[in-house]
Structures are given as C-alpha cells and as structure tokens.
Structure 1
Amino acid sequence: MEDNSQQINDVFANFRRIGIAYRNAASRQLNDMHITHEQCALLYLIEQSDMTQKEIAQKLKISEATLSGRVKRLEKMHYIERVQDQNDKRKYDLFITPSGKKALDEAKSIVDRLSKQCFEGFDDQDFALLMSLFQRVYKNLEKMKGENACSD
C-alpha cells in the first residue's frame, strides 16, 4: 500500500484554505452591510424554522450565551423581534422583521454571487467529479462511525 500521507495532508490543507478564503471573502462583502456571516446564519434559521433558542444554539454549535448576544445585536439592529411565548412566559419566540428579511435577501445575493464565482469555469463534468469524490470521502468517514479512529 502506497504511503500517501503527504497528499492527504495537502488535501486537508486545501480544504482549510478554501474555507478560510471563502469565509474571508464573504465577511468582506457582508461587512459593507454591517452584518456578519454568523448573524446571517442566525437570520436564516429564524426565517426558516420554528426552533427554540436552545435548538438554534445547538444547530449553530454555539453556547446559549453566545446566541443570546447575537440575538440582542440583531434585535438592536431591528432585524428580529423577540416575543414572549403565549404558553410559556419564560420563553421568547424569535421573528425576522421586514428590515431583517431585506438584509437577509441582500446577504443571500452576496453569498450566491460569491459561490458562483468560486466555481467559475466548472462544467457539469467537473461538478459530477467533485461530488463523486466528496461522496467517497464521506462514505469512508461513515464506515468509521462507532470505531475509534485513533486506536493503535
């Protein structure tokens, strides 16, 4: 079996570079709107679902305290409203406002343009190959479920 450790490391390094470059480009463009990538993700979840704040925090993989800070900032920007739950006065439901919806639509447009720019020059065969390779990597990772990948 050929030792391809360096190639594997290079692939993962490129994944990281792409992720960082994409996030930085999105952040620069969203900065003109005075909104962060994280705030956009939160607006999107609020618009798309009827999740509790606890569920949103879990979905975003952040603490409830971090989420609370983001909610307060978006509320201050008039992008969301917190309304006390009718059935449980301890809970607040989150709703996107018309200005929040407008900001989210603009952000989606920016991200869509950036995503298309990332794959400029790709044809259907390129996409099919890329998806096939990603699916193979994912299947290999799925095989490891329940196994201790770090065992001797």
Structure 2
Amino acid sequence: MLNNELHFLLLKAFNHSNNLIIQQVYDLDLLPGQPKILEYLLEHDGTIAKNISRDHVLDKSTITSLLTRMEKQNLIVRKNQINDKRAYSIYLTEKGKESAQKVKQICGHVDDIAFKNISSEDKQQFLQTLNIIIKNLREENFQ
C-alpha cells in the first residue's frame, strides 16, 4: 500500500539516494548539508544565504551554521555586498570549487544509478512531473 503513496516513495528514494551520496562524500571531509550547498554554489556563486535557504528548504540558523563551518574549512568566503552592508555574498574558494566538482560528479553518478534501465523519455517526463509536484507543494506551503 505505501508503495503507491507519493510521500512515502519520495522519502524512500531520498533516503537511498542520500545514503549513497554520503558514503561517497565521506572522504571529502564534509558534513551533512555541505555537499548540496557546494553543488548549489557551482551554479550560483556569489549568492546570498537567504537564496540558499529558500532553494534548499533549510532554516536560516542551519544555513548560517553550515556556512560558518565551511568558511573555517576554506571552502567558501563571504564578502559584504556593496549596496547592503548587512548582507554578504558567498563565493567558493579554489578548494571549495574542487570539492564542489567532486560532489557534482558523485551526485551525477548516483542519479545515473537511480535512472538505470529507464528511458531518456521516461526520465525527462518524470523530472518534469516532479518539478510540477514541487511547485504545487511550494505554492500550497506559502498560502
């Protein structure tokens, strides 16, 4: 019965995917939450913490804690924004870029495992449908 319920299947898929990713990023000396921030910064270098929080569905205190530790590990640097001295932009360091590239490769490999034996058409349809589901749930969450 549960295998026909979206919430259960999403959680189950996430746990299996996350466990494979955690096993492989262990050697990179990263804490849970850091790999997805690194991967996000590859595409959004110079963003602000609020954007990371919004796009990763993590609360501000969790993001702040992760970013503080990442800065101590020399993975990121924070620079004050010119137009708002209270806010800061977050940039990957060279070490952070190297780690982010490794994380991206690992996550890509795990995605390949997940989509094994699934046609590219079915994969694209699934991703499109999942994005619609996320949008629907996000909109409902903000009402």
TM-score scaled to structure 2, two decimals?
A: 0.76
Letter in structure 1 aligned against 2:107: V
- How well do the aligned residues superpose, as a CA RMSD in angstroms? 3.2
SS in 2 for 1:110: helix
Q: Which runs of 5+ in 1 are unaligned?
A: 1-5, 148-152
What residue in structure 2 maps to residue 11 of structure 1?
4
Moved over 6 A (4+): 136-144
Distance in structure 1 (CA, Å) of the matches to 2:50 and 2:87:
10
Q: Which runs of 5+ in 2 are unaligned?
A: none
TM-score scaled to structure 1, two decimals?
A: 0.72
What residue in structure 2 maps to residue 78 of structure 1?
74
Distance in structure 1 (CA, Å) of the matches to 2:97 and 2:22:
19
Letter in structure 2 aligned against 1:21: H
* Contact 2:39–2:104 under 8 Å retained in 1: no
Residue 119 (str. 1) matches residue 115 (str. 2): yes
Letter in structure 2 aligned against 1:29: Q
Higher relative contact order (CA 8 A, sep 6+): 2
Distance in structure 2 (CA, Å) of the matches to 1:14 and 1:60:
20
CA distance 1:104–1:88, change in 2 (3 Å)? same
Instruction: Tell me which of 42, 45, 51 is aligned to 2:47.
Output: 51
Distance in structure 2 (CA, Å) of the matches to 1:109 and 1:137:
22
